[in-house]
Amino acid sequence: MKFGGSSLASAARMREVADLILSFPEETPVVVLSAMGKTTNNLLLAGEKAVSCGAPKASEINELAVIKKLHLRTIDELGLDSSIVSGFLDELEQLLKGVAMMKELTLRTRDYLVSFGECMSTRIFSAYLNKLGKKARQYDAFDLGFITTDDFTNADILEATYPAVAKRLHGDWIDDPAIPIVTGFLGKGWKSCAVTTLGRGGSDLTATTIGKALGLREIQVWKDVDGVLTCDPNIYANAVPVPYLTFDEAAELAYFGAQVLHPQSMRPAREGGIPVRVKNSYNRHAPGTVITKTRDMRKSILTSIVLKSNITMLDIVSTRMLGQYGFLAKVNNNSLVALFPYSYTLSFIVRRF
């Protein structure tokens, strides 16, 4: 079960999520959590401000105060001990001072900086479940076996992750059963051994990776909408849930910008043949969207519409392309979104910078 930042924005939401998990007493879920609310955005903003504010002012960055307030208030309202996060909050402040001194925020430091969000949310939630009498154990994905490429801010999960995660979670469960509470979004670079992140929204990928590693029956991704909708609800308020999708359809929607799922997250589920259910933590009885390998295609012609902004369409027309090959190899495809090859026309859709 994965819960995104929108499901964990406050102490009240944490209570609700705990209640939801405990409402399946016969299940033994693995729980994956994102950072609370908008914490990742605030950490990134704080990092950017630190670059230019000068070391003495780093402690006064507004986003740092917002992050501190949210986490300390949540701990207080849940009746937990502030020592759960105080070490992280102190270190975060030191890190921002360091960034301010260096006047530089590398991609590697950026990943370390944002990791504080998931490290804190999982510790708070795990402590809360334990307080409720439900035994839980917190895991940092980078210590659990999530091994990634060293592409900071957009790392890819390596194959070695699956056996490593399975071994650790099985072993711990046999030794001392407790609900695992795992940080989403984070990994460990295989060469650098530094904290990496899986790209924005990467906790969905953490969840499907664990699903495949353990061969689970189902992967549930809990959001703040009634499933994957026919359109982004911020663009069209009357969008309705799509009850069934295939992995390919969901991956395609995510790739073309439907923010609801991480673009890579369908891959492990597809490889493991594990259904993904997208549910609403604010409306738990809504059926949501079930994503599987195949579905009945007879009823729907159009599944969902994605709007992608800042793109340009380029048509290249030349009769010299007829019967030729190797033309595409010469095209710089760094910003390529889609390509339509015809006999002597190439239509490109590229990102606008």
Ligand X SMILES: Nc1ncnc2c1ncn2[C@@H]1O[C@H](COP(=O)(O)OP(=O)(O)O)[C@@H](O)[C@H]1O
**32-40, 82-90, 171-179, 278-286 -> range binding ligand PHD (CB under 6 A):** 32-40
Q: Of ligand PHD, ligand X, none, which one sits near residue 23, judging by CB under 5 to 8 A according to partner kind?
A: none
Q: Given candidates 117, 227, 272, 288, which one binds ligand PHD under the rule CB under 6 A?
A: 117
Task: Map the footprint of ligand X across residues 9-48, applying CB under 6 A.
Answer: 34
DSSP string, 28-62: ---EEE--STTHHHHHHHHHHHHHHH-GGGGGG-H
43, 227 Cβ separation under 8 angstroms: no
The distance from CA 158 to its chain's CA centroid, rounded to whole angstroms, is 17
- Name the residue nearer to ligand PHD (CB basis): 208 or 348: 208
Q: Binding residue for ligand X (CB under 6 A) from 216, 229, 266, 291? A: 229
In sequence order, the β-bridge partners of residue 147 are 188
- Residue 202 binds ligand PHD (CB under 6 A): yes
Considering only 136, 157, 258, 266, the residue that binds ligand X (CB under 6 A) is: 258
Nearer to ligand X, 223 or 267 (CB): 223
Cβ neighbours for 21, distance < 8 A, ≥ 6 positions apart: 1, 29, 31, 129, 134, 179
* DSSP annotation string for 103-144: T---HHHHHHHHHHHHHHHHHHHHHHHHHTT--EEEE-HHHH
Among 206, 264, 280, 304, binds ligand X (CB under 6 A): 304
Tokens for 46, please give them.
């704080």
Rounded-to-integer distance, Cα 284 and Cα 217, Å: 19
Cα–Cα distance for residue pair 266/272, rounded to 1 Å: 10
Contacts of 214 (CB under 8 A, 6+ apart): 30, 165, 166, 169, 170
Q: Given candidates 14, 40, 141, 157, which one binds ligand PHD under the rule CB under 6 A?
A: 40
User: Given the complex with ligand PHD, which of 47 and 117 has the nearer CB atom?
Assistant: 117
Q: Which does 224 bind (CB under 5 to 8 A by kind): ligand PHD, ligand X, none?
A: ligand X
Which residue in 47, 145, 180, 201 binds ligand PHD (CB under 6 A)?
Answer: 201
224 part of the interface to ligand X, by CB under 6 A? yes
Cα separation of the two ends of the chain: 37
Out of 47, 145, 184, 187, point to the residue binding ligand PHD (CB under 6 A): 184
**Which residues sit at the interface with ligand X, rule CB under 6 A?**
4-7, 34, 201, 223-225, 228-229, 231-234, 258-260, 304
**Which residues sit at the interface with ligand PHD, rule CB under 6 A?**
4-5, 34-35, 40, 117, 184-185, 200-203
